[in-house]
Homo-oligomer: A and B are copies of this chain.
C-alpha cells in the first residue's frame, strides 16, 4: 500500500510541482487555499493552519507530511510570520504527533542561514548556528528547532530541507550567488522523494542543484538522504543569461 502523503501548501510553486510528480507513487492529500489545477478544484483540502482543529482534520491516516505552507517571502511582516510559520508549523507538528504520523518533511529555506550569505561567510555547513536574514528566515530556523524537539521528545521523523532557489531557468539572473543556490525542478522532485523514503529520521539538509560555485554543503544531503543532484545552472549556455543582477538583488527570490 502506498504511503498517504499530505502536502500543505500544494498550491504554491513547489507544491504544484510535487503534486504533479508524486501522484503516481503516493496517495496524495493536497492542502491549500486557492485551487490551481482541475484536480485541486475537486480535491483541495482547505484548512487554516493557525486553527489547530482544522489541522487535525488533515492528518487522518497520513504517513508523511510535506509541510510547504506558510509565508514564503523574506519581506514578510512579523504578524504573517507569527501566524503562518510559527503557529502553523507548531500545529502541524502537534497534530502529526497526535495522529501518529511517521514523518514531517519541512520546507526550510536558505534564508534560515541567509545572514552568512549576506556577510559572504562561506561555506555554510549544516552544523553552523542558525542565522536568519529576515523574520521569515528566523521563523524557518524556529521550525527546524521545534522539529528537532518533536523528534527528540516524541519520536517523530523530521527532515528539514533548506531549499535554495527553485526555477525552471537559472539564467533569469546573472548574479553568481543566486545561480549558486539554484534548484532544478527535477532535483526538487528527487530531494523530496529521498526525504520521504530515506532511512535517516532527523536532519537539516541543504537542497540545491549540483552547481559548482555553490556555497552550501551538500555532503550530508547526499550521504544521509542519498540525494544525487543531476542538474547545474552551468549547463545553460552563457548567451542565454539575462543581464540585470543588480535589479534582481532587490527582488531576492522567494523559495516557494
Contact = CB atoms under 8 A, between A and B. Distances in A.
Interface of A: 78, 82, 86-87, 90, 94, 115, 118-119, 127, 129-135, 137-138, 141-142, 145-146, 148-149, 152-153, 204
Nearest to A137: B149
Tell me the dominant secondary structure on chain A's binding face. Answer: helix
A138 B146 contact: yes
B115 A132 contact: no
Integer count of this chain's copies in the complex: 2
Contacts of A142: 138, 142, 145
B149 A135 contact: yes
Contacts of A87: 82
Contacts of A141: 145
Nearest to A94: B78
A73 to B, nearest CB: 16
A148 B127 contact: no
B127 A129 contact: yes
